[in-house]
């Protein structure tokens, strides 16, 4: 064999050499990997390299001492109805509901400290208790006077507050409880993926509710690649050389694709989750203590000192750590602290600027710490793009993709919440009495001011302010 003929031609040889050099460069980066976040790897913040903010495996069941909670949750499955629902099917479940709530009230107060050495069991305790609280509160039949505060019994309130303090997370149903921790594997021998997971707890028992969680989970899993991009960026030893800059540019391009995918996932919900079912049959179960707005009745956590200070809003995808990571990476200024253009409109100024920051208190503490460590990066990508002409456009493209996502999300949120708030709950099984319709419409709309999110905020002001804050990150306008 002629050895000269099997050697690569000079251009090919050069390409091979470059590939080798690049892969060496990448492996050096990967070796340094993950010492970037204040000296910790993402894993130290319970962020998995393959599943992101999801645990790799479903949460294990609690030990037998806590069977009373697990049993109560299993017994509730499909047997409770919304307290405000007076359809025939709902009324048929009332007797069971009354007995179930009596059982909850009579449960002993269990100490969760034995679970605290195990993160997954602590999360499981939060998950089970938080579901029990919302099932308890929202299955109580509406009284003629809905200004009465709701009492959450000690048996749920005390251990939920205890385990939440340990986890550093709000003592109430959160995005983690409904999405991140609410699944099991279809095939336990295969890894977690959107096709290999099924949601376990449902309030309404509808396919629509399942699809709602599924879309959120899909967005969250699509975000795992985004976390890798952020991590790669933070791991670059320096960002002044050409190779690093072209990697950042490529990754910003990949980011556009990921954000567009998440945007599509949000829109894909339309044929799978009926807006009317969402508004009248699913969403009421999510409401937190402040859903009725300022001045509305609050929940009383029995036996808990200073319960007024607890964070008790309902779950929201605004608590998705993936979306926060994206905002932090692109340096979206929700709090209007930077001088950016176009200047905030008067509506923007009236919006709740603390919403996104407040939503972080509803995340598992470790995930919140992960976000804080991202925010503490010594080299924000927006600044780098500002000072590097070749990165300006790729950066702006990523910001524009996020703005598009928020535009699409506003359309979905308006359809599912604002438009539906003007409809009637008539499609529920049976024919609801007109008194009930009147009461519901009244409680949802009149006298309560603007339509609110489950987080208790003024919905359209909030979402538009988020979209406009995103747009303000664009370099071409600044």
Among 463, 471, 472, 473, binds ligand HEM (CB under 6 A): 463
**Of the two residues 129 and 266, which places its CB atom closer to ligand HEM in the complex?**
266
What residue number has its CB nearest to ligand HEM? 453
* Residue located via tokens 């208190």: 361
409 annotated as belonging to a binding site for a ligand: yes
CA distance 441 to 350: 26
Q: How far is the CB of 405 from ligand HEM (least distance, A)?
A: 8
Does 417 participate in binding ligand HEM (rule CB under 6 A)?
yes
Among 55, 284, 318, 432, binds ligand HEM (CB under 6 A): 318
Burial of 333 (0-12, 13-18, 19+ CB in 10 A): middle
Does 173 participate in binding ligand HEM (rule CB under 6 A)?
no
Q: How far is the CB of 162 from ligand HEM (least distance, A)?
A: 26
Stretch that binds ligand HEM, among 8-16, 93-101, 374-382, 406-414 (CB under 6 A): 406-414
CA distance 167 to 171: 10
**Of the two residues 293 and 297, which places its CB atom closer to ligand HEM in the complex?**
293
Closest CA to 243 of 447, 442, 73, 18: 18
Q: How many CB atoms lie within 10 A of CB 189?
A: 6
Among 122, 123, 201, 216, binds ligand HEM (CB under 6 A): 216
Among 247, 353, 358, 406, binds ligand HEM (CB under 6 A): 406
Q: How far is the CB of 290 from ligand HEM (least distance, A)?
A: 10
Q: How far is the CB of 113 from ligand HEM (least distance, A)?
A: 32
**Of the two residues 115 and 410, which places its CB atom closer to ligand HEM in the complex?**
410
Partner residues linked to 37 by β-bridges: 40
Closest CA to 418 of 470, 464, 469: 464
Backbone φ, ψ for residue 40 (5° rounding): -115, 155
Binding mask 174-213 for ligand HEM (x = CB under 6 A): --------------------------------------x-
* Residue located via tokens 């001045």: 295
Closest CA to 351 of 331, 361, 365, 336: 336
Among 36, 134, 235, 454, binds ligand HEM (CB under 6 A): 454
Closest CA to 284 of 209, 360, 211, 364: 209
CA distance 137 to 116: 27
3-state SS assignment for residue 2: coil
What is the rounded end-to-end Cα distance, in angstroms, of the chain?
64
Q: Which residue numbers belong to the known binding site for heme b?
A: 409
Binding residues (CB under 6 A) for ligand HEM: these are 212, 215-216, 219, 266, 269, 273, 278, 316-318, 320, 323, 406, 409, 412-413, 416-417, 453-455, 457, 459, 462-463, 466
């Amino acid at each position: 064999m002629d050895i000269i003929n099997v050697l690569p031609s000079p251009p090919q040889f050069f390409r091979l050499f470059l590939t080798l050099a690049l892969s060496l460069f990448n492996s050096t980066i990967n070796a340094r990997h993950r010492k970037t976040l204040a000296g910790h790897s993402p894993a130290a913040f319970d962020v998995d390299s393959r599943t992101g903010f999801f645990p790799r495996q479903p949460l294990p069941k609690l030990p037998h001492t806590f069977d009373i909670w697990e049993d109560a949750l299993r017994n509730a499955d499909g047997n409770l109805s919304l307290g405000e629902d007076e359809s025939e099917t709902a009324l048929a479940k009332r007797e069971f509901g009354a007995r179930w709530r009596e059982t909850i009230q009579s449960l002993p107060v269990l100490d969760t400290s034995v679970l605290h050495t195990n993160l997954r069991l602590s999360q499981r305790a939060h998950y089970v208790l938080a579901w029990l609280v919302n099932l308890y509160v929202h299955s109580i039949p509406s009284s003629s006077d809905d200004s009465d505060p709701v009492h959450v019994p000690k048996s749920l309130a005390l251990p939920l507050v205890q385990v939440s303090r340990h986890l550093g997370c709000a003592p109430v149903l959160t995005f983690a409880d409904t999405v991140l921790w609410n699944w099991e594997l279809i095939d336990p021998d295969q890894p977690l993926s959107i096709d290999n997971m099924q949601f376990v707890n449902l309030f309404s028992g509808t396919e629509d509710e399942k699809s709602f969680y599924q879309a959120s989970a899909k967005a969250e899993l699509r975000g795992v690649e985004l976390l890798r991009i952020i991590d790669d960026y933070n791991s670059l030893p320096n960002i002044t050389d050409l190779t690093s800059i072209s990697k950042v540019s490529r990754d910003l391009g990949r980011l556009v694709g990921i954000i567009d995918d998440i945007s599509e996932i949000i829109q894909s919900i339309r044929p799978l989750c009926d807006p009317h079912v969402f508004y009248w049959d699913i969403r009421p179960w999510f409401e937190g203590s402040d859903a009725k707005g300022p001045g509305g009745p609050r929940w009383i956590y029995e036996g808990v000192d200073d319960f007024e200070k607890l964070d008790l809003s309902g779950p929201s995808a605004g608590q998705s750590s993936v979306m926060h990571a994206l905002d932090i990476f692109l340096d979206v200024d929700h709090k209007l602290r930077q001088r950016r253009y176009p200047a905030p409109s008067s509506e923007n100024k009236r919006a709740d600027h603390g919403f996104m920051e407040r939503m972080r208190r509803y995340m598992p503490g470790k995930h919140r710490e992960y976000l804080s460590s991202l925010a503490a990066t010594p080299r924000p990508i927006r600044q780098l793009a500002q000072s590097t002409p070749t990165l300006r456009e790729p950066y702006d493209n990523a910001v524009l993709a996020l703005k598009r996502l928020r535009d699409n999300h506003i359309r979905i949120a308006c359809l599912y919440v604002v438009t539906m708030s003007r409809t009637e709950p008539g499609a529920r099984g049976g024919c609801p009495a007109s008194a009930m319709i009147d009461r519901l419409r009244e409680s949802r709309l009149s006298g309560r001011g603007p339509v609110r999110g489950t987080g208790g905020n003024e919905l359209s002001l909030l979402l538009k302010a988020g979209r406009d804050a995103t747009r303000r990150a664009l370099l071409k306008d600044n």
